[in-house]
Amino acid sequence: MKRIDHICGPFGFRMLLAVLLAFPLLLTSQRAPNEKQESNLTQMKEIEASIEDILGQLTLEEKVAMCHAQSKFSTPGVARLGIPEIWMSDGPHGVRGEINWDNWGYAGWTNDSITAFPALTCLAATFNPGLSHAYGSSLGEEARYRKKDVLLGPGVNIYRTPLNGRNFEYMGEDPFLASEMVVPYIQGVQQNGVAACVKHFALNNQEKWRNYVDVKVSDRALHEIYLPAFKAAVEKGNVWAVMGSYNKFRGQYCSHHEFLVNTILKGDWAFDGVVITDWGSAHDTREAALYGLDMEMGTGTDGLTTTLTNAYDNYYLANPFLEMLKSGEVPEEVLDDKVRRILRLMFRTNMNPDRGMGRMNNQEHLDVARKVASEGMVLLKNQGQFFPLDPDKEMTVAVIGENATRSMTQGGGSSELKARVEVSPLEGLRQRFPKATFLHTLGYSSGPSVYGRVEPAPYDADSLRQEALAMASKADKVLFIGGLNKSHLQDCEGGDRENLRLPFGQDNLLRDILKVNQEVGVILISGNAVSMPWVDQVQGILQAWYAGSMAGHALADILSGDVNPSGKLPFTFPETLVENAAHSFGEASYPGIKKDQEYKEGIFVGYRWHETQKIKPLFPFGFGLSYTDFKVSQVKTNTKKYGSNDTVTISFDIENTGARAGAEVVQVYMGKPDSKIARPIRELKGFHKLDLKPGESQTAEIRIPVSSFRYYNEDISDWALEPGDYSLYVGNASDHAYSTLEIAVRPD
């Protein structure tokens, strides 16, 4: 309490206490005004008054200091007033190990190993917003326990190309899915009094050239594809911080971007939180001051972090900013707006005495990690019911592949974790299948996961191959556990993949294994789509992602049938790279030419492209098999004609017709076949995941506001609704509908 007394001293203890005690209520309120909300509003006003009070006591220098880093992951407080420092940490999948004060090295603490949650592609694949909330609240608890005020995640950059090295940190290719999943994650984190920081705003859809690539994209694609998840994070998730991206958009760096930050984020969406740079994404003091940046982190320009005694004072938003303020070139009101936002963030986090204490490494968090992992794994192929494998059977299983034992919480860049526990696939399988004899060999090898460079593989490829073939030939079944990894030019920050293929000779190895044993199941550990020249020859394929602390147990849950797979792909697997929209228009569209890039496919990203161009994907968005079967019938809408403010209610019966309990994700896509403008054939507008026991039937509903049928009309710079006929495709993948419903929308 000492610290609080300090803060309260100057501006009225009683008022602050009243505000703070009620503060948790303020954080979540969203419904129509009622008595409680009225009082929340009053309290909110009191907080704003307190902010003004503090603001009046701060010197110009103190205010400027609050706008930039004092170390790699913290900003200074104001010691004389008891205003605390702000501490931040990566990232989206767990709280990162402590980093040194002034360089990127790990600090070597012994109390910072944590629960590693599955990567966000896996979370998105659950299509389960409730689970996203559990993920966020568990992660927020860990962040709180580690004394972090801001968690640098989640990431919602859209999956545009399968080469993007950071796709694993994001929520897939569909703006609606990402929006639905990001909101509960944020709410879960923030209920702990820890700010989520949604990133990277905006258009950081590739790692290659991320520091300077200048993206051009239509307003329509910006609003329909690339911004909705950020908008949902702000308007529905009430996120308290947003991280700007490294890249440029239409000639200006995104972290201080007049249109993106001032007009859209802080203007149209009324974001009242803090805009933080990515680490080193500020480039200009005037722009940073005027175009919405509130906090500058990680700047290392001109050798600042190495050549000067206090590099932080030389940040764009430090002394150069102070000088501009003193000379009147930038009005003080600009600074005050930043400091107000920073103080607001503090009242929500480290100046809120009601926030919980947090918890870390407890069983509940491991359970959440395991549930997300097993619910997110996607069964892509299951010939002759190859899976599940019977845990009571004696059998010899050759587990081939480096990813059977490789740590996947290490590497990958800023999302790297120091997991207290990481159960490998091999270990998980050994524990769950005690009667089976597991043989294991790498089959191929790659170098360690170091950042920014590729290290050579330590072993001789041919010897590994020979050993794998010998092992495969004497096994009853082969589980090939491969995919990508967290090394540079794989699924890793700072670089993109070079092609769609499996790396390290895995395709050839699989081809040779199939010559000696046809009973092969492939487990792909990756955050990205890969090509599969062996798709027709193998018996089973499971997309198992980067699954965190409980990876091996979750895999065993699925392979044993303890958990029936219910994950659905959050992005399309194209057969070849050029079949992906971003790669269909040459270099100008990816990776760009001489720093300039144009997203030539416009709104036709992912399945929107495949459907429109009639390019059959290898595996479509929304697809995933189960060990049971579902029958969906009686699909209907509540009426056939709707006004623009109405909601379409689609009801259906679903029956589990198989012998195992399971879950299905029923998905509704909208199309406007006679549209006057170019529109995707289908766009996801609703989904519902249902758990059903064997033989069980349920009736369920999906509600879709007609307003979500709007498109972004560039002529009026606003959303517009086309009246007329719409088709609703109710199915279980972007290319599979059980039923198509026709409805009409009346003109206003």
Binding region for ligand BGC (CB under 6 A): 90-91, 152, 199, 278-279, 414
Cis before 503? omega within 30: no
Residue nearer to ligand BGC on the CB measure, 97 or 482: 97
Residue nearer to ligand BGC on the CB measure, 134 or 152: 152
Partnered with residue 275 across adjacent β-strands are: 242
Decide: residue 319, CB within 10 A, 0-12 exposed, 13-18 middle, 19+ buried: middle
CB of 27 to ligand BGC, least distance (A): 23
Residue nearer to ligand BGC on the CB measure, 91 or 521: 91
CB of 639 to ligand BGC, least distance (A): 46
Question: Using CB atoms, what's the residue nearest to ligand BGC?
Answer: 414
CB of 52 to ligand BGC, least distance (A): 31
What residue ranges in 261-382 does DSSP mark as E strands?
274-276, 378-382
What H or E segment, with its residue span, contains residue 216?
strand 214-216
Rounded-to-integer distance, Cα 566 and Cα 569, Å: 10
Rounded-to-integer distance, Cα 728 and Cα 540, Å: 32
Residue carrying the six token digits 């200048």 = 214
Integer CA distances (angstroms), 606 to 124, 508, 735, 738, in order:
15, 28, 12, 22
Residue nearer to ligand BGC on the CB measure, 275 or 377: 275
Rounded-to-integer distance, Cα 674 and Cα 409, Å: 48
Residue nearer to ligand BGC on the CB measure, 193 or 494: 494
Q: Are 471 and 513 in contact (CB under 8 A)?
A: no
What is the maximum span of the chain, computed from C-alpha positions, in angstroms?
Answer: 80
Q: Are 588 and 600 in contact (CB under 8 A)?
A: yes
Amino acid identity of 629?
D
Residue nearer to ligand BGC on the CB measure, 91 or 97: 91
Rounded-to-integer distance, Cα 32 and Cα 231, Å: 20
Quickly list DSSP for 430-484.
HHH-TTSEEEEE-SS------SSSPPPPSS-HHHHHHHHHHHHHT-SEEEEEEE-
Q: What SS3 class is residue 58?
A: coil
Residue carrying the six token digits 């997110």 = 376
Integer CA distances (angstroms), 72 to 76, 302, 323, 362, in order:
11, 17, 24, 28
CB of 197 to ligand BGC, least distance (A): 8
Q: Are 463 and 506 in contact (CB under 8 A)?
A: no
Residue carrying the six token digits 């204490």 = 357
Integer CA distances (angstroms), 138 to 116, 365, 388, 551, in order:
11, 6, 30, 17
Amino acid identity of 467?
E
Q: Are 136 and 581 in contact (CB under 8 A)?
A: no
Residue nearer to ligand BGC on the CB measure, 127 or 159: 159
| Beta carbons within 8 Å of 97's beta carbon, 6+ residues apart | 106, 107, 109, 112, 113, 416, 417, 418
Closest to 664 measured CA to CA, from 184, 126, 185, 134: 126
Residue nearer to ligand BGC on the CB measure, 197 or 464: 197
| Helix count and strand count (H, E) for the chain | 20, 26
Residue 354 a catalytic site member:
no
Residue nearer to ligand BGC on the CB measure, 153 or 548: 153
Decide: residue 4, CB within 10 A, 0-12 exposed, 13-18 middle, 19+ buried: middle
Q: Are 212 and 262 in contact (CB under 8 A)?
A: no
Amino acid identity of 149?
D
Q: Are 210 and 199 in contact (CB under 8 A)?
A: no
Closest to 189 measured CA to CA, from 229, 145, 156: 145
Q: Are 587 and 204 in contact (CB under 8 A)?
A: no
Pairing of strands 214-216, 596-598: parallel
CA-CA-CA-CA torsion sign (507, 512, 518, 522): negative
Give the pair of three-digit tokens for residue 439: 């043989």
Rounded-to-integer distance, Cα 396 and Cα 468, Å: 14
Rounded-to-integer distance, Cα 684 and Cα 680, Å: 10
Residue nearer to ligand BGC on the CB measure, 296 or 579: 296
User: Among 278, 294, 557, 735, which one carries the catalytic annotation?
Assistant: 278
Using only the alpha carbons of the chain, give its radius of gyration. Answer: 26
Q: Are 535 and 351 in contact (CB under 8 A)?
A: no
CB of 101 to ligand BGC, least distance (A): 14
Q: Which residues are catalytic?
A: 278
